[in-house]
Structure 1
Amino acid sequence: MKKTLLRGVVAGAAATGMVLPLAALPAFGEAPAGTQVQLLNITDFHGRIAETGHEVASVVERERAAFDGETVFVTAGDDIGASTYASSSQEDKPTMDVLNALGVDSASVGNHEFDRGYDDLRDRVGPATDFANVGANVYKAGTTEIADGVDPYTIVEQGDVRIGVIGAVTEDTAQLVSPGGIEDIEFGDPVTGINAAAEELEALPDDEKPDLTVLAAHLGPASVSDLDSALGSNEEFNSVVTGADPSIDAMFFGHSHLQANFAAPVPGEDGRTRPVVQSGNYGDTVGKVTLTNEGEGDWAVDEQELLDTADQTFDTPVVDEVDAIVADAVEKSQEIGSEVVGTIDEDITRAFSEDGSEDRGAESQLGNLVADALKEGVEMSQLDEADFGMTNPGGLRTDLLVDDIFGDEEPGEVTVGELNAVLPFANDHGVVTLTGADVIQLIEEQWQPDGASRSFLHMGISDELDVVYDSDAERGEHVVSVEVDGEPIDPNAEYRVATLSFLASGGDNFAAFEKGEFQQSGLTDFEIWENYFESRDVVEGDPQERQADFALDVIRTEDLEASFTYEGGEEIEVEQGGDVGLTFMTEAARDIEGPFDLALELPDGFSADLAGVEDAFTAANATTVESAVLDAIAEGSTESELTVAAGDDVATGEHTVTATLVADPEHAWWDDSPLPVSRSLDLTVTVTDAQPGEDGDDNGSDGGDGDEDSEGGGDDGRDDDNGDDGDNGGDGGGSGDDGRDDEARDDDSGDLPRTGAELGGILGLAAALVAAGGAALAASRKRGKGL
């Protein structure tokens, strides 16, 4: 059947910003009663032509052939962008060819349609597609005039029926794409744009009005268990479902990659509902709504369902054409991407929730590895070296798996195509110079603004950075400590941060990047990424976290108290050639799995004997060495004895012995508590002259317990309250008592806490233990040195 398109301009209501009344009468044209229309939809296809192109074509063609009426096929955005390599290797031209072959009638713009910038959508994508790209809330910058190359709506004529299709995109798009690519446009409130488009459709002459109106909006719910939970999960989705003009007969959504199939009340019309459908993602599902015209603009919903495309096949010339396009694209991409550029011997992945879905609020080995590559990649350019690298989790689109095979490579070999699938956006690479205070703000901005699609975005950071944050803190006060190459960050000093153009322009609400000038290296993130693999025999992920949550510290959750005590007076004293006994004590509310490293950093001429630790804990290598590995800390009270000895030639006077207890840095902690955050404890040991006639084994004191810095002490009673007196600041930015009564964790599984911050807290000696010869500790991340 002949099909014509009429594309709107929305010059009236949108230009004045007027909000339309919900009681507007539905527009209707001249289709006779009894006319049937079938609406088919996909969303968030993301160029999955090689994975589901044949299946989507088969389902669409099958439904067209089986339906005794007119069919309209619309998409709800993100057809391109973040695509797999068969499409992305050719700038998504194969996906556009597939959609043309499928006879798509209208496509809402999604945020990923702007990945390469507005100019690309207007000048390349639009002319390459046979359908309208619709977005009623995409305006020229500073106006409410629809941007060039985007239509607020389109009217599809099929036989005797005209179908109006209004498009919209989430207002969050401004934070989801590189700001530099959308300087000429802006994204407004979806409801205002949708209702303005509906009003213009209402105002058309009778012989041009649509018989029914459909909305395809690239925004969606975060929960889909039922309509109420969906409405409550996302304010923007709620506002569209409950506030879009009653003339809209069916609504398709996208963006959140979930499947939804509801009937929602039409505002202002008692008893009338309209379909609210979201067709999942990646072409796995085709949404279907069929309606029958009852006359006078009324349409009855006959069916609404989600059709699974898995293993579906159907034989028509359209399916054959799609198959040919896909085969050609795959062949070309295999030629482009089959080159082996590196090797991995273990999977390197994004972070995932327990249900298997991607978790952008958690740290990942892959994100940190990309940050490492960004930092190192500066050396490929004319730019001065960077201090560290940072990247965003949303830029990681798949994982690197040993058993994934792109072409004919061996397991573990990594190809160009596999690398491109991880970083498909072709961001510009470069360096932003920021102050230390700006860097702290960047880390704070991981907590996203109110109303953002995700409340927390966990940045990937390179190995030079060590971060401790407190997720329980007030907004603006989450960052506990930041170290660069093991030294506390200087708020007033300048640091060179390797990153992507997306972030450098303030993308994902990381606005602090905009405080510095972005120096481009002339390379893309993918070129940097590829070189990182080419320059190594084997690429490995780092099994230790680089950011840790101090809120989960086992001391703060009252799961553990730990201390060192000693026999002596106000000072720990030892004669030259003698030794002093120390007691390491733990009080655990539950069994806490290890292993941990108990380590003593000794001054020159000192030695230690940790053999007694083995008697109290299940420990390895606890001999006359400076560290011992504890397999676990048992529930209840445990004490172990150790000694510190001063050599004959040690100078008299005060010396500092530093004790730490951290997760064993050689253990791959990633799944349980990967990052040890330690609190170091400094013990002041005073060495005196050996007295004639004495063997040096007596430390010369029979007094009560004292403290390590010669200020007070003597009380041999121990206050078991684990409250923090605020004196645990210091190296690495310790955190004082925040005034909260931290409740004990109710997890009795015996596993270590989810983050290494809890591990580090194990030696976070409570200030209350100072009276018994202990000391407050500074919270910081200490990884691997001497442990």
Structure 2
Amino acid sequence: MASSLPRLLIGATAAAGLVVPLGALPAMADVEEGKKIQILGITDFHGRLDADGIGTASVIERERAAFDGGEAATTLLSAGDNIGASIYTSSAQEDAPTIDYLNALELDASAVGNHEFDRGLDDLSDRIVPRSDFPTLGANVYKEGTKDHFDALPASHQYEVDGVKVAVIGVVTQDTASLVSPDGISGLEFGDATEAVNDEAARLEALPDAEKPDLTIVQAHLGPDVTDSVDGAKGSNREFAKLVDDADASVDALFFGHSHKKMALEAPVPGTDRTRPIVQADHYAKAVSKLVLEADAEGNWNVDTNEVLATKGEDYDSERVTKAKQIIADAEDVAKEKGSEVVGEITEDITRAEKDGKEDRGAESTLGNLVADALKEGASYTQLEEADFGITNPGGLRTDLKCDDIYNDEKKCEVTVAELNGVLPFANDHGVVTMTGEAVTQLFEEQWQPEGASRPFLHLGISDELDVVYDSTAEAGDRVKSVKVNGEDIDPNREYKVATLSFLAAGGDNFAAFATGTFEQSGMTDFEIWQKYFEENSPVSPDKKERQADAALDVISNGTVDATLTGSEDEPTNFAVNLNADEKVTGPVTYGVSGLPEGFEVDYGEHAGDNGDGARIDEIPAGDSDYPFTITAPEGAKAGEYPFTVSLTADPEHPFWDDNPMPLVHTVEAAVTVPEDDPSDDPSDDPSDDPSDEPSDDPSDDGKDDDGKGKDDNGKDKDGKGTDDKGRLPRTGAELATALGVALALIGAGAASVYAVRRRSQL
């Protein structure tokens, strides 16, 4: 409770121990005009028992003490995800210290969040709820096939705050069914949040006057991705927009969570000319929301104060803060003993994807791919057969591995148990799903989430055995263009063994294709596999190669650049890559020849790369541009055709991934021919073999042609051109086997199209 004075419980729905007989309720007077109530809020705390946890407790206590209505007129509420995805200080003891911390701060009520379901229903109902001194609310959490509320999660909680009858309704995002392991919530359904709020609000409004709430507050574990305006917020999340627009007019304030944003706005109340606050307190103990409401003469509540208060560095002296500090200190002692063990080391930071300074679950990351590598290798640590590859979800990655992050007293770049647990805190079961190649391809289609999901695209982490090409502009169901396993096209009819987590294996995060397979558990958790992987493979380095590529970003695939290979009839040893660009393309881009036998040389001229392997184009100009190169066969090369491949792709040292203008490799195959010896070249038939023809015997022979150019020892002009009177190449020359002067499309619309993932380094 927020006050040191006892609160009077007015009523609750379907929760043992939370209902006071209605006959025991006293009659209460209407709220007088000018009465103020302070509502302090947190959300998405996620077990942050650290300095920010101390800051959160301090801000709460400071605002309680400073409120001019008095501490008794303050209530403290949460919009859910108090636990789960927690730092090791809390997760080392399955978040029990976090519940104790919230009890110490006298939290009055909390909505249930999706993470409260991480360890399943039995843990929620048998451990979390009984340990909590506050009710956990879930108005839209029903027993399967009914509208009966799950016993441990009442729809609302009623209590008195300084003479004001308060009702709190709690709901959780309907996406919860896809955000936690389906096996852990078997027997439950998650209904429409707005309908549940309105059903409960109608029930509360129908109560006798003595029991009807004076102030109704919604705590909703769902939220917008945009929070700078009401219209922007509503446009970013339909579930949020529906609740804001359609929640019953008896609801006086709406608190949100789940999207990890801060918000302090007001939105119109349907059917009235009033507005009501819509509030969110950021996440990870970074802030506390402060809302002060004042009653008017009609019994409506108007906003006096609506702000979000930062907690960093705050330290307030009070009894509750002292108690919270002790809980944190005790938890840290336990965690440091368990978590300080050094498991391995990293050579450099291994991180999640990031955009605008925030985690981006829609992009590839070195951390996601590393976890997938670990899951794949992890099958070999168990009784299971070896996996073909591994796959993980981005939402399971909760922090980065950084060299400068020091948990206790380990050395720079050393990795502890606690730090590894911070990456994978959910304790999912590890195992292998046996599924068809067709289902695997469908998994990558399912990265595009169903309409209305909280994120439109979730980029799967994949192990090194996999290469995937997709086209983000293609029609749904036809976006995946290529899936390769160890360089070979995936066989839609073959069964593959996919190492993954129980969360995904059950179809979590809307990856339903996983559920078409058979899941065998390894008997180890994801964290245990992760820890052993570091023990076996340290030091661990990030693989900076892109394993999934978007063809829509590729300037050749999308038609911005037309690339062809051309040869020359006049100079058959020479040919060129021709690029015709609609607009300037910032490189770097490389092209090169591969597949020729040893001894063949390729001269790229002024575009030769620093390492001598291929050529580099720093920028493709608009219009036509040619990039020539020459192939020369070694002296004595046998006559015949010698196939080779010309490849064009981004520079291997390209510093970025998702805005790469050429993420794919574009190739064409050609051949050079070393011709048969011509009898006219036989020394015995060549007049030059006559001693009288030797240059040393002819004073007039100065080693020059009639045109005055010098020759080398092979009879070639010193400018590299042959002098054969028939215009043929010398034996040491080469020519294109393909029709000279005919352009060969490196990438076209027909059979010439080649999709292959480019495997390149990121700085």
Aligning the two structures, in what range does the TM-score lie when normalised by the shorter sequence?
0.7 to 0.9
Compared with structure 1, are the counterparts of its residues 213 and 584 closer, same or farther at alpha carbon in structure 2 (3 Å cutoff)?
Answer: closer
**Partner Cα separation in structure 1 for residue 154 and residue 227 of structure 2:** 30
In the alignment, what sits opposite 1:59?
59
CA shift, 1:646, in A, is: 7.2
**Partner Cα separation in structure 1 for residue 659 and residue 479 of structure 2:** 22
Query: Is residue 267 from structure 1 mapped to residue 270 from structure 2 by the alignment?
Result: yes
CA offsets per residue over residues 686-734 of structure 1, 9 Å max, x none?
A: 565322233897898889xxx9886xx67x4769x999332234xxxxx
Of the candidates 565, 588, 610, which is equivalent to residue 602 of structure 2?
610
Query: Is residue 681 from structure 1 mapped to residue 668 from structure 2 by the alignment?
Result: yes
Q: Runs in 1 of length 4+ with deviation above 6 angstroms?
A: 695-703, 707-710
CA shift, 1:312, in A, is: 2.0
Compared with structure 1, are the counterparts of its residues 566 and 332 closer, same or farther at alpha carbon in structure 2 (3 Å cutoff)?
Answer: same
**Partner Cα separation in structure 2 for residue 685 and residue 640 of structure 1:** 16
Secondary structure, counterpart of 1:241 in structure 2: helix
Question: Which amino acid is 1:610 matched to?
Answer: V
In the alignment, what sits opposite 2:9?
5
Secondary structure, counterpart of 1:390 in structure 2: strand
Secondary structure, counterpart of 1:261 in structure 2: strand
Answer whether contact 2:45 2:82 (CA < 8 A) is retained.
yes
CA shift, 1:598, in A, is: 1.4
**Partner Cα separation in structure 2 for residue 723 and residue 517 of structure 1:** 39
**Partner Cα separation in structure 2 for residue 679 and residue 593 of structure 1:** 15
**Partner Cα separation in structure 2 for residue 248 and residue 38 of structure 1:** 16
CA shift, 1:618, in A, is: 4.8
Compared with structure 1, are the counterparts of its residues 387 and 7 closer, same or farther at alpha carbon in structure 2 (3 Å cutoff)?
Answer: farther
CA shift, 1:523, in A, is: 0.4
CA shift, 1:361, in A, is: 0.5
Query: Is residue 135 from structure 1 mapped to residue 138 from structure 2 by the alignment?
Result: yes
In structure 1, runs of 5+ residues without a counterpart are 12-27, 573-578, 730-777
Compared with structure 1, are the counterparts of its residues 784 and 220 closer, same or farther at alpha carbon in structure 2 (3 Å cutoff)?
Answer: closer
Point out the more displaced range, 32-41 or 415-424: 32-41
- With structure 1 as the length reference, what TM-score do the two structures score? 0.83
In the alignment, what sits opposite 1:462?
463
CA shift, 1:329, in A, is: 0.7
Answer whether contact 2:591 2:646 (CA < 8 A) is retained.
no
Query: Is residue 337 from structure 1 mapped to residue 339 from structure 2 by the alignment?
Result: yes
In structure 2, runs of 5+ residues without a counterpart are 16-26, 683-713, 715-721, 730-734
CA offsets per residue over residues 367-388 of structure 1, 9 Å max, x none?
A: 0000000000000100000000
CA shift, 1:6, in A, is: 4.5
**Partner Cα separation in structure 1 for residue 567 and residue 304 of structure 2:** 82
Identity, in percent, stands at 50
Secondary structure, counterpart of 1:610 in structure 2: strand
CA shift, 1:439, in A, is: 0.7
Spell out the pairing of 1:515-594 with structure 2 (5 A cutoff). Answer: 515-567=516-568, 580-587=573-580, 589-590=583-584, 592-594=586-588
Spell out the pairing of 1:171-210 with structure 2 (5 A cutoff). Answer: 171-210=174-213
Question: Which amino acid is 1:348 matched to?
Answer: I
Secondary structure, counterpart of 1:620 in structure 2: coil
In the alignment, what sits opposite 1:768?
none
Query: Is residue 108 from structure 1 mapped to residue 111 from structure 2 by the alignment?
Result: yes
CA shift, 1:597, in A, is: 5.4
Of the candidates 223, 227, 231, which is equivalent to residue 228 of structure 1?
231
**Partner Cα separation in structure 2 for residue 147 and residue 85 of structure 1:** 30
RMSD (CA atoms) = 2.8
Compared with structure 1, are the counterparts of its residues 690 and 219 closer, same or farther at alpha carbon in structure 2 (3 Å cutoff)?
Answer: same
CA shift, 1:59, in A, is: 1.4
In the alignment, what sits opposite 2:312?
310
Question: Which amino acid is 1:470 matched to?
Answer: D
Secondary structure, counterpart of 1:113 in structure 2: helix
Question: Which amino acid is 1:466 matched to?
Answer: D
CA offsets per residue over residues 356-412 of structure 1, 9 Å max, x none?
A: 011111000000000000000000100000000000000001101110000000111
Compared with structure 1, are the counterparts of its residues 674 and 592 closer, same or farther at alpha carbon in structure 2 (3 Å cutoff)?
Answer: closer
Spell out the pairing of 1:53-92 with structure 2 (5 A cutoff). Answer: 53-67=53-67, 68-69=69-70, 70-92=73-95
Answer whether contact 1:448 1:455 (CA < 8 A) is retained.
yes
Compared with structure 1, are the counterparts of its residues 323 and 657 closer, same or farther at alpha carbon in structure 2 (3 Å cutoff)?
Answer: same
- With structure 2 as the length reference, what TM-score do the two structures score? 0.86
Query: Is residue 779 from structure 1 mapped to residue 723 from structure 2 by the alignment?
Result: no
Compared with structure 1, are the counterparts of its residues 674 and 496 closer, same or farther at alpha carbon in structure 2 (3 Å cutoff)?
Answer: farther
In the alignment, what sits opposite 2:214?
211
Answer whether contact 2:51 2:313 (CA < 8 A) is retained.
no
Query: Is residue 694 from structure 1 mapped to residue 696 from structure 2 by the alignment?
Result: no
Answer whether contact 1:584 1:642 (CA < 8 A) is retained.
no
**Partner Cα separation in structure 1 for residue 341 and residue 364 of structure 2:** 30
CA shift, 1:88, in A, is: 1.1
**Partner Cα separation in structure 2 for residue 542 and residue 146 of structure 1:** 48
Query: Is residue 628 from structure 1 mapped to residue 614 from structure 2 by the alignment?
Result: yes
Answer whether contact 1:544 1:669 (CA < 8 A) is retained.
no
Answer whether contact 2:637 2:674 (CA < 8 A) is retained.
no
CA shift, 1:583, in A, is: 3.2
In the alignment, what sits opposite 1:50?
50
Answer whether contact 2:554 2:661 (CA < 8 A) is retained.
no
CA offsets per residue over residues 320-352 of structure 1, 9 Å max, x none?
A: 000100111111111111111111121110001
Of the candidates 276, 279, 295, which is equivalent to residue 278 of structure 2?
276
**Partner Cα separation in structure 1 for residue 555 and residue 135 of structure 2:** 57
Answer whether contact 2:590 2:615 (CA < 8 A) is retained.
yes
Compared with structure 1, are the counterparts of its residues 664 and 228 closer, same or farther at alpha carbon in structure 2 (3 Å cutoff)?
Answer: closer
CA offsets per residue over residues 251-300 of structure 1, 9 Å max, x none?
A: 1111111111111111111x211111111111221111222333553233
**Partner Cα separation in structure 1 for residue 205 and residue 28 of structure 2:** 10
Point out the more displaced range, 487-496 or 560-569: 560-569
Question: Which amino acid is 2:46 matched to?
Answer: H
Question: Which amino acid is 2:247 matched to?
Answer: A
Compared with structure 1, are the counterparts of its residues 406 and 784 closer, same or farther at alpha carbon in structure 2 (3 Å cutoff)?
Answer: closer
Answer whether contact 2:363 2:658 (CA < 8 A) is retained.
no
CA shift, 1:211, in A, is: 1.7
Compared with structure 1, are the counterparts of its residues 702 and 156 closer, same or farther at alpha carbon in structure 2 (3 Å cutoff)?
Answer: farther
CA shift, 1:185, in A, is: 0.6
Compared with structure 1, are the counterparts of its residues 389 and 539 closer, same or farther at alpha carbon in structure 2 (3 Å cutoff)?
Answer: same
CA shift, 1:120, in A, is: 1.4
CA shift, 1:63, in A, is: 1.6
Q: Matched residue pairs, number? A: 695
Question: Which amino acid is 1:165 matched to?
Answer: V
